[in-house]
């Protein structure tokens, strides 16, 4: 067994036996891991954290070389996000980030940039008032870092860069020019403004996007296209999105 110290965001926690937890953690140095926290529910000295989901902790864990279930021997809470816990919409958005990480990142694959991105968004959500399209901004930044990034700067089939009209192909993962539409009959029309919006979000820092206004037709298309793209690649139902949808309908 190897012993490691790292930072971890709690994705999920389940009771295990009489006194323990089974946890899924997204760590800064080892990616996503599954672990057992023996005796953590007894609040013994080694555990200054109760492993609540959406918290940032410093942990020590023993890496099992025989199985993918490791053992957390020590954990301390570094920060939690009180405003996310208090506000249902912020909580829904943070839960979506956690669900997306849980679904899209394979176990044991280190990705420090995505860890930092998640931390940045959680802190931002906690400290700031509502920012429009924050879920889509997270999705674009996440896709950019995770290797799923949709190709928008040239036609995915013929690599031509000169086109005014385009369609988005979920299967091919990017834009098709007019000449290549028939390579995916399910490709979806996409406004130039949506392409420009995605490119702007990709290269702009989160804090500088606070005053960025997206007109409603683009906002709707952006949400649809990213949703379908992520669903196409991951194929899962997000509970947090159902929750946010109900919340939105209740507020209309």
Q: Which stretch binds Zn ion (CB under 5 A): 43-51, 102-110, 180-188, 240-248?
A: 180-188
Out of 101, 180, 190, 225, the only residue in the binding site for Zn ion (CB under 5 A) is: 180
Residue 185 or 250: the one with the smaller Cβ distance to Zn ion is 185
Give least dist CB 232 to Zn ion, A: 20
Residue 132 or 160: the one with the smaller Cβ distance to Zn ion is 160
The residues in 136-175 that bind Zn ion, with binding defined as CB under 5 A, are 155, 157-158, 160
- The span from the CA of 194 to the CA of 42, in Å, is 52
Give least dist CB 7 to Zn ion, A: 44
Residue 163 or 243: the one with the smaller Cβ distance to Zn ion is 163
Residue 155 or 195: the one with the smaller Cβ distance to Zn ion is 155
Q: DSSP letter for 148, please.
A: -
Q: How many residues bind Zn ion (CB under 5 A)?
A: 6
Residue 104 or 175: the one with the smaller Cβ distance to Zn ion is 175
Closest alpha carbon to 221 in 188, 194, 199: 194
By three-state DSSP, how is residue 155 classified? Answer: coil
Out of 93, 137, 175, 177, the only residue in the binding site for Zn ion (CB under 5 A) is: 177
Check residue 187 for interaction with Zn ion (CB under 5 A): no
Binding site for Zn ion (CB under 5 A): 155, 157-158, 160, 177, 180
């Amino acid at each position: 067994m190897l012993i490691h110290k790292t930072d971890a965001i709690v994705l999920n926690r389940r009771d295990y036996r009489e006194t323990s937890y089974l946890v899924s953690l997204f760590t800064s140095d080892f990616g996503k891991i599954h672990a057992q926290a023996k005796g953590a529910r007894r609040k013994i000295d080694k555990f200054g954290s109760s492993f609540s989901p959406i918290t940032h902790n410093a942990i020590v864990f023993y890496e099992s070389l025989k199985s993918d279930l490791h053992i957390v021997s020590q954990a301390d809470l570094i920060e939690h996000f009180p405003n996310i816990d208090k506000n249902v919409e912020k909580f829904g958005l943070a839960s979506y980030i956690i669900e997306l990480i849980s679904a899209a990142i394979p176990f044991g694959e280190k990705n420090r940039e995505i860890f930092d991105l998640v931390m940045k968004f959680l802190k931002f959500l906690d400290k700031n008032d509502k920012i429009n399209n924050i879920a889509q901004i997270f999705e674009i930044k996440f896709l950019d870092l995770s290797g799923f990034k949709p190709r928008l700067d040239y036609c995915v089939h013929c690599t031509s860069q000169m086109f005014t009209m385009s369609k988005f192909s979920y299967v091919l993962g990017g834009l098709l020019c007019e000449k290549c539409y028939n390579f995916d009959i399910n490709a979806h029309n996409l406004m130039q403004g949506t392409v420009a919006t995605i490119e702007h979000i990709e290269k702009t820092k989160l804090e500088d996007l606070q005053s960025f206004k997206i007109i409603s037709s683009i906002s709707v298309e952006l949400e649809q296209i990213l949703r379908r793209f992520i669903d196409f690649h991951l194929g899962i139902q997000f509970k947090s999105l159902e929750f946010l949808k109900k919340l939105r309908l209740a507020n209309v």
